Amino acid sequence: MAALMEQRSIDVVPDSERHGTAFSQFTLWLGANLQITAVVTGALAVVFGAGAFWALIGLLIGNLLGGAVMALHSAQGPRLGLPQMISSRAQFGVRGAAVPLLLVIVMYVGFFASGSVLAGQAVGELTHLGDTAGIVIFAAVTALAAAIGYRLIHLLGRIASAVCALAFVYLGVRLLERADLGALLHDRSFALPVFLLAVSLSASWQLAFGPYVADYSRYLPRHTSARATFWWTLSGSVLGAQWSMAFGALAAAAAPAAFVGHEVAYVVGLGGAGLIGSALYFVIALGKLTINILNTYGGFMSLVTSVSGFRGRRTLSPAGRAAYIAGIMVAGTAVALLGKDGFLSAFKDFLLFLLTFFTPWSAINLVDYYLISKERYDIPALSDPHGRYGAWNIRTLAVYVLGVLAQLPFLATHFYTGPLVAPLGGADVSWIVGLAVPAVLYWAVTRRDTARLPATTPAAVPHDPTDPTDPTGGRADGDDPGAIPTDRRAGTP
């Protein structure tokens, strides 16, 4: 256990502690997506009006588009050696980054809660203690695993990817034994609004990983190819999500009355009773455990990043780590217990509403990293509110707000519908606007801003002079001791 326990939080991972290969991103994100909440997400496309044929195509398009954005964030991890959201300080300022961070934390708590509802049903059935006790037990196990950290997270990802893949193959065969696939796909009638809803559901699923995806690639060796990181992350996440969502869409089309509102029971009943049923309950809990640990770990990182921007501390004691994680667990469990009876409808709106706030952040971060800073950050300045990036970047915050506001006319949720939704036939295209508008605005206002960049060398993670694997022997190019030579093997995808 001591060997597994992670010691770092938001501080830079030195070269001497880097390990693994880019393939680890495939198994982690495959396992994180082969799970019951992704099944429910795919089912929503059919529940809200799409035929199975166009639902599957829409879900695939959304997974590919959103997954590409998410994987571009993942490629930052080996290069910087930092958690995802701390790099936002280069755009928003050391303290200004707390604005999107607070919204990200709400996302983590929401996904923790929604995952706990479904996993709690499985744990409750396995233990015969009921849903409420199942939610609490599941939350406690999640918090313990998140406290252990990075190595255990990747180990669980490898286990979950293998176990859940076998289970989904079995469940897919069982589903096709009960349903006529040709009949399910026979209806080819096309309706743009519900097709775009399917695209938005899967795109929002993938985009929601963006704020924490680099947390799980930051321990990879610095020379790891960005292309490899990008493609392994993309392939694992898209394959896992599309597999799960396609199963959910077909299940909802085949038996809407039996599936909707009884998702866990339907999936287990599809597989069989007795020992097989118990095994499927375990698989559901395992799949949700993997993703809920990511949510808890990411929430912990975001909380520490927010607080440290004002307090200036980058290290954290084990007791402090446990306190942050316990806080996220308590908040997520409370939301799960309060909202477990109205889950399906609320979760659909939650997914779509997330896009409003995270697509502008994602666009700004990617434009800055790849086009403005060109993969170069001054790492020490990310912790100094009086340094190169400042405390608050008003221009970026203004672009972010405009990016959020630009989406409102196109947004369609249960509690708000924009004025341009009806002319588009009810289609929600707000996430496309949320990516395009802030990306163009941020590029326009920062493309000539060279003051934030190191004068002579690209900044990245510091070299470790004690690390025998450091190819520079601890020396950086130029005069900047925190700089790293540009590695063209790790170019952008």
Assess if residue 212 is contained within a domain: yes
What is the 3 state secondary structure string of 204-272?
HHHHCCCCCHHHHCCCCCCCCCHHHHHHHHHHHHHHHHHHHHHHHHHHHHHCHHHHCCCHHHHHHHHHC
pLDDT of residue 465: 41
Q: What is the span of the domain harbouring residue 255? A: 21-349
- For residue 105, which of 344, 305, 309 has the smallest C-alpha distance? 305
Higher pLDDT, 296 or 237: 237
Assess if residue 409 is contained within a domain: no
Name the least confident of 34-48, 104-118, 401-415: 104-118
CATH number at residue 101: 1.10.4160.10
Per-position b or e across 187-197, b if 16+ CB within 10 A of its CB: eeeeeebbbbb
Assess if residue 193 is contained within a domain: yes
Assess if residue 136 is contained within a domain: yes
| Number of folded domains that form the chain | 1
Question: Averaged over 18-33, what is the pLDDT?
Answer: 94
Assess if residue 438 is contained within a domain: no
Cα–Cα distance, 256 to 363 (Å, whole number): 37
Confidence grade of residue 345 (pLDDT, cut at 50, 70, 90): low
- Which residue in the block uniquely carries the two structure tokens 């994602």? 362
Assess if residue 133 is contained within a domain: yes
Question: Averaged over 429-433, what is the pLDDT?
Answer: 89
pLDDT of residue 346: 65
Question: Averaged over 154-162, what is the pLDDT?
Answer: 92
Cα–Cα distance, 198 to 253 (Å, whole number): 14
- For residue 236, which of 146, 161, 149 has the smallest C-alpha distance? 161
Cα–Cα distance, 308 to 302 (Å, whole number): 10
